[in-house]
A and B are shown apart, each in its own frame.
Chain A
Amino acid sequence: MLVVEDNIFIALDLEAQLVEMGHDVVGIAATATKAIAMSRQSSPDIAIVDLQLADGSRGQDAAFVLRNEMGIPSVFVSGSLHQVTDDEKEAIRPLAMLSKPLLPNELRRTIEAAASSDLAWKDR
């Protein structure tokens, strides 16, 4: 798992939630460039991606490269999901789009649903 999130509290919380579910977290990326570099290095199964990242970069841009160049799907977690256009949704095919703030177990249920769905994994 990779966490792409520029707010350190949120990033650490997401990491803790993922670890508690029994997943390995390969790292925390605060920008789109870092997210792509870390994915190339460690090939996570799924990326948890915020939309508005540090240095003005966009989570969609990272998720697009991860999906189309590395076959890594993303779960968007953002306070402004409406920023994802229909074209981007089609190109990125996110596993889920979760609105901040996350509710208890929302991330867990999403990841479990994704893991049990063959459809979500067929691109891998």
Chain B
Amino acid sequence: MDEVRHIDLGIFFDAAPNAQLVFTPDLRIVAANQRYCAMLRRQPEDLVGFRVFEVFPPNPDDPNADAEAELQASADAVVATGQAQEMPLRQHDVLEADGRYGTRYWRILNSPVFADASEPERVTHVIHTAEDVTRSVLGERADAAKRRAAMRGADLSYFELDPVSQSLVRSPQLDELFGFEQGETAAEVKPFLDRFHPDDRDAAISEIERVARTIGSDLHLDYRIMLPDGTTRWVTGRGESVRDPGTKAISIVGIVLDVTSIRENEANLSKAVEARDLLIAEVNHRVKNSLQMVTSILNLEANATEDSAARASLRAATARVNSIAAIHASLYEDDDVRSVQIDKYLDKLTRHLRASLESEERRVQITLDVEPIRLPTDKAVTLSLAVNELVTNSFKHAFGKDDDGTVTISLRRSGDDKIVLDVSDDGTGPSFDSLDRSSHSTGLGQRLIAGMASQLGGTIEEDKTSGWRTRISFAE
């Protein structure tokens, strides 16, 4: 029974889970429990005998730091009523050991103590129970500040719509977006719906109804609104429906954003793309037509001339124009107009060369051996002209009119960055005289081939050990 009779009651005060301070009605500290001392990082001797605001002076940087008057008023009320008084949650920063103030928020309960047995009705002391609520207060503030910053930053219009009562709580930006003066409309959604574009309104309303039916579903609104000044704006709304855990009421919360400029940019962009495509098609058409005109003029000249040598020259010119034209046609087969899939093009050129051979009833074959290679357009044009010249040369000089034979076109990579074009034939020339053949190398065709090799930045090699082979090597 010693545990009951002989215990110092001060032990209970120190063991209490709440931070407690005892002061007289004029705020002079009489006792502080361990919890209180620990919380404020003070020793009892730092406190006892001092007035509260001597040891906890107000922060000079806090303009609202008039806590002393409030605490005194609360203590006065405790004395006057004999009842405990709860103080409104407030900030009172605490002077730390290093002379700085720490931001602190407090929830305070002041309770009466009647210690004078001769005057049992008189409040002799006040027990001051202090709860530090800094963390939760600052946490909420931080969240609210983040929300505000996010809404300010994006100029978002926040709304909360009650689909049952049709009430609409919203940020001022929403009124501004819909062309309402602040306070012009009450907390109802109807005036806002009235400004929806008539063609979009029904779809928007049924979307809102759909989201209201399924809690947690996402709201996707894209609609036009008609402003009083006659302008139309595109807006987009995003949100979701939620049920209040307390009231069980359903609301749709979300944001509305003016996307008119984005929509306009999209429209302008697609117009520009359309115009560009039309322009390309038109230029393409004109180039093809012009090339046709050139070949037509050459054909007409060739038909008109009596001189067979002149006629042959004009036909050769036509063939050169055609090889340029075929490159041009290949250009528009994919979206890349700066380079050409040269292997595909050479395949096409070869088919045309074969066709013209057949029409001349020649028996020479053309074989093609090319790797898939893309070349810049200007190089491709030069290369195709070179192939045209070399193959034509072989036809002219390697074989007799009725000879069998083969012309081989080969294009492949060599090493890391070299491309090698080989055009070779197995003919010996109509007169079996290589001297006769080499005499043609001063002709226009040979000069063109040399010129084109240097235009490609390449080197040219000729080999006549068996038939005739011309090799052009150039950097990719």
In this assembly, does B281 line the interface, its C-beta being within 8 Å of a C-beta of chain A? yes
Inter-chain CA distance A104–B319, complex, in Å, is: 8
Q: Shortest distance in angstroms between A74's beta carbon and chain B's nearest beta carbon?
A: 17
B319:A16 contact, CB within 8 angstroms:
no
- Residues of chain A within 8 A (CB-CB) of B182 are none
Q: Classify the secondary structure of B's interface with A.
A: helix
In this assembly, does B236 line the interface, its C-beta being within 8 Å of a C-beta of chain A? no
Q: Shortest distance in angstroms between A51's beta carbon and chain B's nearest beta carbon?
A: 9
In this assembly, does A122 line the interface, its C-beta being within 8 Å of a C-beta of chain B? no
Contact with B along A1-34 (1 / 0, CB 8 A): 0000001011011101100100000000000000
Contact with A along B270-288 (1 / 0, CB 8 A): 0000000000010011111
Inter-chain CA distance A24–B324, complex, in Å, is: 32
In this assembly, does B83 line the interface, its C-beta being within 8 Å of a C-beta of chain A? no
| A79-B284 contact, Cβ under 8 Å, with A101-B321, A103-B322, A104-B356 | yes
Inter-chain CA distance A18–B326, complex, in Å, is: 22
In this assembly, does A100 line the interface, its C-beta being within 8 Å of a C-beta of chain B? yes
Interface Cβ pair total, 8 Å cutoff:
78
Query: Which of B281, B292, B315 is the one whose CB lies under 8 Å from A102?
Result: B292
8 further A-B contacts with Cβ under 8 Å, apart from A9-B300, A13-B299, A104-B352, are A7-B292, A20-B303, A79-B287, A80-B281, A101-B294, A101-B325, A104-B319, A108-B359
Inter-chain CA distance A47–B293, complex, in Å, is: 19
In this assembly, does A109 line the interface, its C-beta being within 8 Å of a C-beta of chain B? yes
Chain B residues within CB distance 8 Å of chain A: 281, 284-289, 291-297, 299-300, 303, 315, 318-319, 321-322, 325-326, 329, 352, 355-356, 359
In this assembly, does A99 line the interface, its C-beta being within 8 Å of a C-beta of chain B? yes
A79:B289 contact, CB within 8 angstroms:
yes
A10:B355 contact, CB within 8 angstroms:
no
Query: Which of A99, A104, A109 is the one whose CB lies under 8 Å from B288?
Result: A99
A12:B322 contact, CB within 8 angstroms:
no
A101:B299 contact, CB within 8 angstroms:
no
| A104-B292 contact, Cβ under 8 Å, with A16-B303, A52-B285, A79-B284 | no
Query: Which of B281, B286, B295, B300 is the one whose CB lies under 8 Å from A101?
Result: B295
- Residues of chain A within 8 A (CB-CB) of B355 are 103-106, 109
In this assembly, does A82 line the interface, its C-beta being within 8 Å of a C-beta of chain B? yes
Inter-chain CA distance A103–B315, complex, in Å, is: 12
Query: Which of A7, A16, A99, A100 is the one whose CB lies under 8 Å from B299?
Result: A16
Query: Which of B285, B287, B322 is the one whose CB lies under 8 Å from A104?
Result: B322
Inter-chain CA distance A10–B295, complex, in Å, is: 8
Inter-chain CA distance A106–B315, complex, in Å, is: 15
Inter-chain CA distance A16–B314, complex, in Å, is: 15
A12:B292 contact, CB within 8 angstroms:
no
A7 to chain B: closest residue by CB: B293
B288, B295, B296, B319 — which one has the most chain A CB atoms within 10 A of its CB? B296
